[in-house]
């Protein structure tokens, strides 16, 4: 009886802990979602615009761009923060003028920093700073 009760308690705790913290959090309306250490977003702009807005955002946020690459299939911008966190932005065309991109800060991710970078990219897109 005691073993059965302990197993039941263990399963309930395991399921609770396993699902806690895994729910995605909406960032900036319905365009960005933070989930498991990454911010996933969709833009109604083309990949070139999102790529240029991302490079500008990194410079505006005083993040040192270490690597940037782009072709017709995908793009990436890798930067370093002053506290040596690696920031990676991966960009892919989604068709019909839309672009999917993701932002990851450090190994475990940072929702706060990802949101700041996302908002700066969106601000650049809105202001036409993507050219």
Domains of the chain with CATH codes = 24-126 (3.30.160.110)
Half-sphere exposure in the Cβ direction for 128 (13 Å, CA): 0
> Mean pLDDT in runs of 10 for the chain (131 residues)?
50 46 49 92 95 98 98 98 97 93 96 96 86 55
Q: What is the pLDDT of residue 95?
A: 87
Residue 73 DSSP symbol: S
- Return d(Cα 36, Cα 64) in angstroms, integer: 25
Report pLDDT for 16.
43
Run of H or E including 49? helix 47-60
Residues with Cβ within 8 Å of residue 5, at least 6 apart in sequence:
none
Q: How far apart are CA 49 and CA 128, in angstroms?
A: 9
């Amino acid at each position: 009886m005691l073993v059965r009760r302990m197993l039941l308690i263990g399963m309930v705790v395991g399921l609770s802990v396993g699902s806690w913290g895994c729910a995605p959090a909406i960032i900036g309306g319905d365009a960005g979602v933070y989930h498991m250490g990454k911010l996933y977003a969709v833009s109604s702009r083309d990949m070139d615009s999102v790529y240029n807005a991302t490079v500008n955002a990194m410079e505006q946020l005083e993040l040192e761009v270490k690597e940037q690459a782009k072709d017709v299939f995908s793009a990436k911008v890798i930067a370093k923060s002053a506290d040596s966190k690696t920031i990676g932005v991966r960009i892919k065309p989604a068709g019909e003028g839309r672009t999917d991109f993701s932002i990851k800060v450090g190994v475990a991710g940072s929702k706060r920093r990802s949101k700041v970078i996302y908002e700066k990219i969106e601000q650049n897109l809105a202001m036409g700073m993507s050219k």
